[in-house]
Amino acid sequence: MLNKECICPRFEKSFMILGKKWSGLIIEVLLLEDRRFKDISEQIPGVSDRVLVERLKELEEEGIVLRTEHTDGPVKVIYSLTEKGRDLEKVMLEIQSWSDRWIHA
**pLDDT tens-digit readout, 14-53:** 999 999 999 999 999 999 999 999 999 999 999 999 999 9
105 pLDDT band, cuts 50/70/90, is confident
As a whole number, the mean pLDDT across the chain is 94
DSSP 3-state of 46: coil
What span, in angstroms and rounded, lies between the C-alpha atoms of 61 and 25?
17
* 45 DSSP assignment: T
Domains of the chain are 15-102 (1.10.10.10)
pTM: 0.90
